[in-house]
Structure 1
């Protein structure tokens, strides 16, 4: 008779994720097993190697859910309101994946392995969808003439840098909400339509 599993794969991944994020890629599988209260052999039986365990625990989702709403373009609300909403959702995403990617890179795992289940890395997909959103806004004359790809890259880059700096240093300047408010305010000054055009303020 087969003995029932005493711990689920999900519980193993949760515990391993905590260990990797707390201690980095050098944490031993012995330490992970001890935290979980299982033998080291259980980890290898379920996931094969330490790197496979690390990938399963830390690899980001291939399609960031917050970008799905961007495909249809802006809704009827004021664009600054929508940009602020996008900024918050993107920041949540980057705050989650930046520490994970840092651990994976520290282990020598290439980005193509991190995003192995996706046609495009998640940040690239986010940039393309945001650029598409900007093209819709441009076609509706709700922003001034601009390069949607450049604007999307600039916006997401500004959103990604704060979680990155927070990962390597504690004192990173303005609080999150203040930073996002200022970022959107300054971006809007750059892309807001001329006064003679339809306004979204």
Structure 2
């Protein structure tokens, strides 16, 4: 009798662990992370350009494959920002799973001209707040953590959302050149993995 009870208990434990795991470790959530889609497009990456910023893709400067994304601004008084983003809408990681965003950046004459100036990456879980009105742990950014400036070769930025929150419909990744930041920044090999 004890043996049957132990078998049932162990089986229930393994079934529960399997159900809670959700997506396996090292699952890549972003599409076209190296911008090497077979049709040559940068889809599903979407540009959000405010006046003064130029966003595009470069086939002359890249880290891997044959293309990178870029954001450029030449006006030091421009208080707008330029943003690339991609939304993940597939099966969500289980609550508590860690998400790691990695992106490689290359800069040309990047200068920070104000207190809010920066180049950064971020992760946001939507909706912005859960059904209890909780917003904690649903957004993380490298803004104000790093000071990317000057001309530099490919450098990796890494950002961790330590615990996937409950009630997530989609996850959005942002690649941003903030206000009063001048120069040109390239992004390549952008991944969001479940760990």
- Give the TM-score band, short-chain normalised: 0.3 to 0.5
TM-score by length of 2: 0.34
Q: Rg: which structure is higher?
A: 1
**More strand as a share of residues:** 2
TM-score by length of 1: 0.33
**More helix as a share of residues:** 1
Q: Relative contact order: is structure 1 or structure 2 higher (C-alpha 8 Å, sep ≥ 6)?
A: 2
